[in-house]
Amino acid sequence: GQQVMQIPQYQHVQEGEDFTTYCNSSTTLSNIQWYKQRPGGHPVFLIQLVKSGEVKKQKRLTFQFGEAKKNSSLHITATQTTDVGTYFCAGRNSGGSNYKLTFGKGTLLTVNP
Amino acid sequence: NAGVTQTPKFRILKIGQSMTLQCAQDMNHNYMYWYRQDPGMGLKLIYYSVGAGITDKGEVPNGYNVSRSTTEDFPLRLELAAPSQTSVYFCASSYSRLAGGETQYFGPGTRLLVL
């Protein structure tokens, strides 16, 4: 079945440093979504990427979807303590159903003030 | 809108007991999902529903049952609780079935401890 791998599993940074998490799928994706989960909270939708090579920005966050639609990345510039949490990618298999997402295991980001 | 609501927030069960985790959404979403989240393991899909009266198994359905009698409600049933079912359970819903058009909205979660 479809697998979505995410690295790194953990990342600790000093406030102001940059952060990147990578997501790789074993199969071609129709789209990929990113979610953020604060400690003790629930996943919250951040963004969805659909097109090959797509790049989207949300303030200090930059999301990329690979040309082959099998990988994605989330980059945070100049991290802040409010960025703390676990970032999940979730992909939908291009050949599968339209309503099931496969989640990566997430990257836990901690920020030292 | 309240969005997706879940009850209870926390529950302790003894092995072999049964319980129902409640989930409701007021966004008129057709699609609803149950996930479990174990530490460091991401989200695993238990069951999902594409509309009232229609449910299907996800990745880890064993030990669970669901029903969807209305668009709003999607309860998850544990019949014989086992320690392996200790986890955080999230219910989610979404509106669109079109590829590229779907966002999942998550409830606050239910923390379940089976002893």
B12 strand-pairing partners? B113
Mean pLDDT (whole number) for A76-104: 86
What 3-state DSSP class applies to A102? strand
The C-alpha of A19 sits at a distance from chain B's nearest C-alpha, in angstroms, of 19
Q: A6: which chain B residues are within 8 Å (Cβ-Cβ)?
A: 42
Residue of A41, A48, A103 with shortest CB distance to B43 = A103
Give the tokens for residue A109. 């980001």
Confidence of residue B101 (pLDDT cuts 50, 70, 90): very low
pLDDT exceeds cutoff 70 at B98: no
Comparing CB atoms, the residue among B48, B58, B106 nearest residue A43 is B106
* Shortest distance, CA A67 to any CA of chain B (angstroms): 16
Residue A80 has pLDDT above 90, yes or no: yes
pLDDT tens per residue across span B53-86 = 999 999 899 999 999 999 999 999 999 999 999 9
- Chain B nearest-CA distance from A103, in A, is 6
Which residue in A31, A41, A99 is closest to B50 by CB distance?
A99
What separation in angstroms does the CA of A91 have from each of A75, B31, B61, B103?
18, 17, 20, 12
Instruction: Tell me if A42 and B108 make a contact (CB, 8 A cut-off).
Output: yes
Min Cα–Cα distance to chain B from A15, Å: 24
What count of other Cβ atoms lies within 10 Å of the Cβ of residue B94? 21
- Contacts of residue A48 in chain B, CB cutoff 8 Å? 100, 102-103
Confidence of residue B40 (pLDDT cuts 50, 70, 90): confident
CA atoms within 13 A on the CB side of B115: 4
Asked if the Cβ–Cβ distance from A48 to B100 is below 8 Å, we say: yes
For testing contact with chain A, the best of B34, B37, B49, B111 (most A CBs within 10 A): B37
* Cβ neighbours of A89 in B, within 8 Å: none
Q: What confidence tens digit (pLDDT) does each residue in A36-45 have?
A: 999 999 999 9
Largest CA distance in chain B: 42
Q: Between chains, do B90 and A33 touch, taking CB under 8 Å as contact? A: no
